[in-house]
Amino acid sequence: MDILKWTATELAAKIKNKEVTVMEAAQAVLDSIEKKERHYNCYITVDNEGIMKRAEDIQRRIDSGELTGRLAGVPVAIKDNMCTQGMLTTCASRMLGNFIPVFSSEAVLNLEKEGALIIGKTNMDEFAMGSTTETSAYGETKNPWDESRVPGGSSGGSAAAVAAQECFFALGSDTGGSIRQPASYCGVVGMKPTYGTVSRYGLIAYGSSLDQIGPISKDVTDCAAILEVLASHDKKDSTSIFRNDTDFTSALIEDVQGMRIGIPKDYLGEGLDAEVKEAVLRAAQVLKEKGAVVEEFDLSLVEYAIPAYYTIAAAEASSNLERFDGIKYGYRTRDYEGLHNMYKKSRSEGFGAEVKRRIMLGSFVLSSGYYDAYYLKALKVKALIKKAFDEAFSRYDLILGPVAPTTAPRLGESLADPIKMYLGDIYTISVNLAGLPAMSVPCGKDSQGLPIGLQLIGNCFQEKKIIQAAYTYEKARGVFGTPTAEKEKV
Amino acid sequence: MAKQYETVIGLEVHVELSTKTKIFCGCSTAFGGAPNTHTCPVCTGMPGSLPVLNKQVLEYAMAVGLATDCAITRYCKFDRKNYFYPDNPQNYQISQLYLPICKNGKVEIETAEGKKTVGIHEIHMEEDAGKLIHDEWEDCSLVDYNRSGVPLIEIVSEPDMRSAEEVIAYLEKLRMILQYLGVSDCKLQEGSMRADVNLSVREAGTEKFGTRTEMKNLNSFRSIKRAIEGERERQIELLEAGREVLQETRRWDDNKEESYAMRSKEDAQDYRYFPDPDLVPIVVSDEWIDEIRSRQPELRSEKMERYKREYDIPDYDIDIITGSKHMADIFEATVAISGQPKKAANWLMVETLRLLKENDMEPEDIRFSPENLAKLIKLTDEKVINSSVAKEVFEVMFDRNINPQVYIEEKGLKTVNDQNALRKTVEEVIEANPRSVEDYLNGKEKAIGFLVGQTMKAMQGKADPGMVNEILKLMLRNK
Amino acid sequence: MANVISDETIEYVGILAKLELSGEEKEQAKKDMGRMLDYIDKLGELDTADVEPMSHAFSVQNVFREDIVTNGDIRDEILSNAPGEKNGMFTVPRTFD
Ligand SMILES: [Mg+2]
Ligand SMILES: [Zn+2]
């Protein structure tokens, strides 16, 4: 019995049928972590002490019939920018190296209500700023398919942990592609829901108008099941939306007959790796063969998404990160003279280079005399981008494209040139600007065996269409495999 | 000839709203809790916490806007004002810059030269900051976030005022409106109403405004007056010396009675306002405005008119009583129970005002209940107690809001109506004061007053002086 | 590079953002910011004269809470992460206000 090979929903079903206990599942995950962590570094915190006791408690509640949910007893990893009461939450920053939240994020509470077993907190780019998980203050995470490569980011620890079977699923957050891109690099499924679907309460904000929590999972079925649990209308989050269509698992249907799918020509142009392009088009062909109507179209404005995004995200981040000042929590410098010196030293020592870079940029674009030219301009471009998507969705049910221009880059390659790194977000970023749902599904590997992700983008509140198409594609594609299986083959 | 200067003043008035909870979280706004006991992740800026707007704050702000003739903004947003200071846990204040809830209003004030209109530029909603306490023993300050997130409205006037007197008349007027609306208790001393003064001077007759300074930390009418006068002088002296007035923020020092510039390299005064992405826009419908208008309580001018119609009391009394919403409330409730407007007014106009003055209190500090005042009026009407006992009882009531009925029973203050007991005392007084008796009998009418007094004294005040007078006269006639 | 960031600008932004950069970091920051701004200047190619700026991607509005006290005293928790605490309050370097 290889517990680790099961998906989250399979494991939950077997726990329910008493084929396996929550404690056995927890132990399997702990063993896996024990074995692999020194290679991959997916986690910042593993709750070694508390996990077994909580597993027993969950088992008891399952046995008593109190917990009947689809994820009851399933071990899950949480990205370290989501608050977990009583459990270290660092945002992969020195700034929060000792921060123990006094409340849990709504998304985490929703999982706990369902009976999911939280194992620990995963590595990420510091404050979710980065695309490689190399900006973490706790060392980089390595891609389980190839340890010389990045897992992507910023939810790199979460994606790598799922791929490496160090958990059964994980939560990530996506501000500009931070769920979908690491999912793509790590060969797992990742979804960013419509803005407002999952409460942001307890998510340590990067770009508040763009941030959204979502699942990273082994397959589309898990993804739908997890999203169903995560989605809720939270009165503590003013941007949370009431929806009565969150029965996402009802969309696990193998059928794309007549579904209209558009591929933006701009997503296939210059900069896109040939092998990635080929894999994505092959996937499109699969959907076409299944009955979808697939065509290419001009989305327009694609090249404006990145500058608009970085202006807005940096501006919001510069303000969101002001609260880290060494007074209420977090890092305070040892020696200082007076208040402002304490602020400056604490923040300069507590934040890493990429975070400081974005705070500086964000402060600048909001500063007197530049607001209209940069920030306001970016908000207007955002409106135009949204309009372009509205037009596209008047013609198509889904937009299909790559997640990232390439497969996972080598460690250390990206940080040297930040703008080049930012350019890698070209296919994911406009989705956040427009508040849309989108999923990354593994659709092949390049000649070096590195996973490639297929992106499916839906209109607002159309997660079900995405899930249905992704599920259909996944069935047709067949088993994708795991890095462990690959290594065992060798 | 010396130049004539005109002072140009605009005011930014911060008013703490009297909601039960803070503007963006469910923490209590009650005064006086131990430090940080009225706090939560939201109002201490914990990572991951998010604000949700208290609807009452918005409706109070709209009510103030309607009462000051403002246009209500139909699509309104909150913005972040970014600056680092320890009393501000997020290091940004949630406020409104681009689309404040109310705009373009006005209020009318009375000045020495008659009525004058002061324009209201805008009213916006924002959150209050926490409190910094300076530790005497160690080289540090301490932060208490109990006030952090208490709702404020900031009422920004046009630069329409020309003197300290006008400024004070304007503040009095605002205070009256706010108290009548029941949206704030407006206590300057406690900081629930605070004014920042923007002041510039210009040569009389010129159109163009001079450079203005902003003065902060003014927490009494007295300091506002002093600060205005001092700043006017300072600016005129600068101009006379051929120097420039710098646009700056100055802080008023109440002890030294002077202001000083709050200049620091670290305070760049560049607040980088932008729409708060954690909050959603507010859309105000006609229906909503109508509803708030219909719920609007009677304001002072309306109340004064009604008192004139309904109660037979002097205009002077009406002016004083309606000069405080709290006093007017007590008056009306007392009248409703007792049906005695004149007597209720008298208690407020004479004894209440006297005691307030003696105790250095404001009408808002009145503690006795209308029920008890009505009881006292009834007890006097029914001659259960006489008027001097009533005054004594009132003093205790003013102090501790006692039930006069219970109090006079306990203290045995009831007027003695037993004719026999009275006669006996009167007889004793006549015995003991033969000189006065003789004076009276010899035609000195006034001497009876002394005898009444002696009788009242012997009765420990618990007699009806009229009745004593009658009995005395009767008994002396028989002498 | 079209946008040349001066020492003064970096100094000024450092004051706003409360960041103190070393000499080397400052040079890097000048370069980075200049390049980013050049890149952002691309937005200038678009005519947005008649476009309403969009803060949120779709219109959720009028989200309120009722004026009811829901929070109790959790002072110990609120202070539990404080680098400095005294008498139930957060300590900060001596501040004059
Ligand atoms: Mg203000
Ligand atoms: Zn609170």
Domain residue spans in chain B? 5-287, 298-411, 419-477
Residue B336, φ and ψ in degrees, nearest 5:
-60, -35
* Structure token pair of residue A220: 């589309």
Span C32-77, pLDDT tens digits: 999 999 999 999 999 999 999 998 887 899 999 999 999 999 999 9
Residue B3 region by backbone torsions, left for phi larger than 0, else alpha for psi between -120 and 50, else beta: beta
Distance from CA of B183 to the nearest CA of C (A): 13
Q: Chains contacting B with at least 3 CB pairs below 8 Å?
A: A, C
Rounded Cα distance between B324 and B362, Å, is 9
Ligand 1 mean position, distance from CA B62 (Å):
17
**Residues B474, B466 contacting (CB under 8 angstroms):** no
Yes or no, beta carbons of A238 and B92 under 8 Å apart:
no
Helix (H) or strand (E) holding B450: helix B447-458
Q: How many CB atoms lie within 10 A of CB B32?
A: 6
Burial class (CB within 10 angstroms; exposed 0-12, middle 13-18, buried 19+) of B205: exposed
* Confidence (pLDDT) at A58: 98
DSSP sequence for C8-21: HHHHHHHHHHT---
Average pLDDT of span A6-19: 97
Distance from CA of A418 to the nearest CA of C (A): 8
What is the amino acid identity at position B346?
Answer: N
A79 is catalytic: yes
* Confidence (pLDDT) at A348: 98
What is the amino acid identity at position A203?
Answer: L
Contact of A394 with chain B, judged by CB distance below 8 Å, is answered with no
Yes or no, beta carbons of C86 and B141 under 8 Å apart:
no
**Residues A104, A116 contacting (CB under 8 angstroms):** no
> What order do you get walking across the sheet with A75-79 strand by strand?
A43-46, A117-122, A75-79, A169-174, A212-217, A189-192, A438-445, A451-458, A398-402, A260-264, A293-297
Closest alpha carbon within chain B to C84: B142
* Confidence (pLDDT) at C97: 53
Strand partners, B92: B82
Going by pLDDT thresholds of 50, 70 and 90, the confidence category of residue A489 is low
Residues in A closer than 8 angstroms to B46, CB to CB, are 101-103, 328-329
CB-nearest partner of A339 from C20, C82, C93: C93
pTM of the model: 0.91
* Structure token pair of residue B356: 């307030």
* Structure token pair of residue B144: 């208490």
Yes or no, beta carbons of C32 and A102 under 8 Å apart:
no
* Structure token pair of residue B449: 């007053």
* Confidence (pLDDT) at A30: 98
Distance from CA of C31 to the nearest CA of B (A): 23
Distances (CA, A) of B54 to A226, A236, B61, C62: 32, 12, 11, 11
Contact of B45 with chain A, judged by CB distance below 8 Å, is answered with yes
Rounded Cα distance between A480 and B200, Å, is 74
**Residues A79, A89 contacting (CB under 8 angstroms):** no
Yes or no, beta carbons of C84 and B133 under 8 Å apart:
no
Which residue is catalytic, options A14, A32, A36, A79?
A79
CB-nearest partner of C67 from B56, B84, B138: B56
Judged against a pLDDT cut of 70, whether residue A278 lies above it is answered with yes
3-state secondary structure of B172: helix
Residues in chain B: 479
Closest alpha carbon within chain A to B90: A323
Average pLDDT of span A253-261: 98
Q: Which CATH class is domain B419-477?
A: mainly alpha
* Confidence (pLDDT) at B157: 98
Ligand 2 mean position, distance from CA C25 (Å):
38
Domain residue spans in chain C? 7-44
Q: SS3 string of chain A?
A: CCHHHCCHHHHHHHHHCCCCCHHHHHHHHHHHHHHHHHHHCCEEEECCCCHHHHHHHHHHHHHCCCCCCCCCCCEEEEECCECECCECCCCCCHHHCCCCCCCCCHHHHHHHHHCCEEEEEECCCHHHCCCCCCCCCCCCCCECCECCECCCCCCHHHHHHHHCCCCCEEEEEECCCCCHHHHHHHCCEEEECCCCCCCCCCECCCCCCCCEEEEEECCHHHHHHHHHHHCCCCCCCCCCCCCCCCCHHHHCCCCCCCCEEEEEHHHCCCCCCHHHHHHHHHHHHHHHHCCCEEEEECCCCHHHHHHHHHHHHHHHHHHHHHHCCCCCCCCCCCCCCHHHHHHHHHHHHHCCHHHHHHHHHHHHHHCCCCHHHHHHHHHHHHHHHHHHHHHHHHHCCEEEEECCCCCCCECCCCCCCHHHHHHCCCCCHHHHHCCCCEEEEEEEECCCCCEEEEEEEECCCCHHHHHHHHHHHHHHHCCCCCHHHHHHHC
Distance from CA of C34 to the nearest CA of A (A): 10
Alpha-carbon Rg for chain B, nearest whole angstrom, is 30
Q: Is the dihedral of CA A323, A329, A330, A333 positive or negative?
A: positive
Yes or no, beta carbons of C25 and A353 under 8 Å apart:
yes
Residues in C closer than 8 angstroms to A390, CB to CB, are none
Ligand 1 mean position, distance from CA B154 (Å):
6
**Residues A353, C29 contacting (CB under 8 angstroms):** no
Yes or no, beta carbons of C55 and A209 under 8 Å apart:
yes
Rounded Cα distance between C25 and C7, Å, is 12
* Structure token pair of residue B122: 């805008």
Rounded Cα distance between A337 and A350, Å, is 17
* Structure token pair of residue B27: 């923490």
Residue B36 region by backbone torsions, left for phi larger than 0, else alpha for psi between -120 and 50, else beta: left
Ligand 1 mean position, distance from CA B97 (Å):
9
Contact of A15 with chain B, judged by CB distance below 8 Å, is answered with no
* Confidence (pLDDT) at C56: 87
Q: Parallel, antiparallel, or unpaired for β C64-65 and B53-54?
A: parallel
Alpha-helix runs per DSSP H in B278-369: 286-295, 300-310, 315-322, 325-338, 341-346, 353-358
Residue B122, φ and ψ in degrees, nearest 5:
-165, 160
Rounded Cα distance between B338 and B381, Å, is 10
* Confidence (pLDDT) at A196: 97
Angle made by CA atoms A78, A84, A90, in degrees to the nearest 5 = 75
Rounded Cα distance between A471 and A256, Å, is 10
* Confidence (pLDDT) at B253: 85
Judged against a pLDDT cut of 90, whether residue A420 lies above it is answered with no
3-state secondary structure of C74: coil
Rounded Cα distance between B168 and B223, Å, is 11
* Structure token pair of residue A284: 């499109």
Span A105-164, pLDDT tens digits: 999 999 999 999 999 999 999 999 999 999 999 999 999 999 999 999 999 999 999 999
Going by pLDDT thresholds of 50, 70 and 90, the confidence category of residue A266 is very high
* Confidence (pLDDT) at A23: 98
CB-nearest partner of A366 from B53, B272, B279: B272
For B328, half-sphere exposure in the C-beta direction (CA atoms, 13 angstrom radius) is 23
Which residue is catalytic, options A32, A93, A155, A178?
A178
3-state secondary structure of B2: coil
* Structure token pair of residue A443: 């659709």
Strand partners, A120: A46, A77
Distance from CA of A378 to the nearest CA of C (A): 7
Residues in A closer than 8 angstroms to B91, CB to CB, are 322-323, 325
Yes or no, beta carbons of B282 and C71 under 8 Å apart:
no
Judged against a pLDDT cut of 90, whether residue A220 lies above it is answered with yes
CATH number of C7-44: 1.10.20
A250 is catalytic: no
Rounded Cα distance between A424 and A442, Å, is 18
Ligand 1 mean position, distance from CA B152 (Å):
9
Residue A116, φ and ψ in degrees, nearest 5:
-70, 150
- pLDDT tens by residue, chain B, 479 residues: 578 999 999 999 999 999 999 999 999 999 989 999 999 999 999 999 999 999 999 999 999 999 999 999 999 999 999 999 999 999 999 999 999 999 999 999 999 889 999 999 999 999 999 999 988 777 899 999 999 999 999 999 999 999 999 999 999 999 999 999 999 988 887 889 999 999 999 999 888 999 999 998 788 888 999 999 999 999 999 999 999 999 999 988 888 888 888 877 777 789 999 999 999 999 999 999 999 999 999 999 899 999 999 998 999 999 999 999 999 999 999 999 999 999 999 999 999 999 999 999 989 889 999 999 999 999 999 888 888 889 999 999 999 999 999 998 888 878 777 778 888 888 888 888 888 888 888 888 888 888 888 888 888 888 888 888 888 888 887 76
Yes or no, beta carbons of A236 and B48 under 8 Å apart:
no
Contact of A90 with chain C, judged by CB distance below 8 Å, is answered with no
Yes or no, beta carbons of C19 and A377 under 8 Å apart:
no
DSSP B53: E
Chain centre distance of CA B118:
21
Q: Which CATH class is domain A3-266+277-298+391-489?
A: alpha beta
CB-nearest partner of B35 from C74, C89, C94: C89
Residues in B closer than 8 angstroms to A101, CB to CB, are 46-48
What's the whole-number average pLDDT of chain A?
96
Strand partners, B69: none
